[in-house]
């Protein structure tokens, strides 16, 4: 019975994603599952940013939040992340006009700006590996903030993230 239920659920999910919900609906119309499916798992939003106090310019660094698993590029405390890391930004479709801080590659920002998903997005390619192959994932390119002394933060600025 369990196996049958699993196959049924998979088929339901296949049908749902075959519909390309992200092309049929506005961001504000997505349900919770569809919203989560949009995340490509790149981990770029977990990169620490530095802000110039005078100009308010923001720069991405090669350091990521200490909660990010550097192998799987998943948050190790996803349900509690906002309590554990008060700076972790909550964003939803209602705040789409302020997605400018997200990398240009981010699926949420792309759709909010009327762009389509890229070829490497898992919903298009069918695998998260393309996010790595296309050089979008932070996998192998970043270190945990826990391993960098605060005096070295400024030297960690990177230029490979377009935002
Ligand atoms: S930058 Fe966007 S697509 Fe990438 S992990 Fe963050 S929310 Fe997901």
Closest by alpha carbon to 114, among 138, 132, 97?
97
Closest by alpha carbon to 133, among 118, 119, 116, 120?
120
Closest by alpha carbon to 152, among 34, 50, 72?
50
CA angle at 42 for the pair 69 and 72, rounded to the nearest 5°: 30
Q: Which two tokens mark 46? A: 């977990």
Q: What is the pLDDT of residues 126-146, one digit of tens each?
A: 999 999 999 999 999 999 999
Separation of 30 CA from ligand 1 center, angstroms? 16
Q: Looking at ligand 1, which residue's alpha carbon is closest to its atom 4? A: 42
Q: What is the pLDDT of residues 32-77, one digit of tens each?
A: 999 999 999 999 999 999 998 899 888 999 999 999 999 999 999 9
Rounded Cα distance between 26 and 146, Å, is 38
Separation of 42 CA from ligand 1 center, angstroms? 6
Residues 6+ apart with CB under 8 A from 39: 107, 108
Separation of 120 CA from ligand 1 center, angstroms? 13
- What pLDDT was estimated at residue 115? 96
Share of the chain above pLDDT 90, in %: 75
Q: Taking CB atoms and a 6 Å cutoff, what residues make up the pocket around ligand 1?
A: 39-45, 102-103, 106-108
């Amino acid at each position: 019975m369990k196996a049958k239920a699993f196959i049924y659920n998979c088929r339901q999910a296949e049908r749902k994603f075959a519909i390309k919900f992200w092309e049929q609906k506005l961001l504000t119309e997505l349900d919770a599952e569809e919203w989560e499916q949009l995340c490509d798992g790149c981990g770029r939003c977990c990169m620490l940013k530095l802000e110039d106090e005078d100009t308010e310019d923001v720069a991405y660094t090669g350091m990521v939040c200490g909660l990010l698993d550097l192998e799987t590029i998943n948050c190790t405390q996803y349900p509690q992340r906002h309590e554990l890391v008060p700076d972790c930004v909550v964003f939803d479709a209602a705040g789409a006009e302020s997605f400018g801080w997200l990398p240009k590659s981010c699926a949420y920002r792309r759709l909010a700006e009327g762009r389509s998903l890229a070829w490497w997005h898992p919903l298009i390619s069918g695998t998260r590996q393309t996010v790595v192959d296309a050089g979008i994932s932070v996998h192998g390119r970043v270190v945990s903030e826990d391993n960098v002394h605060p005096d070295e933060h400024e030297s960690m600025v990177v230029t490979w993230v377009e935002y």
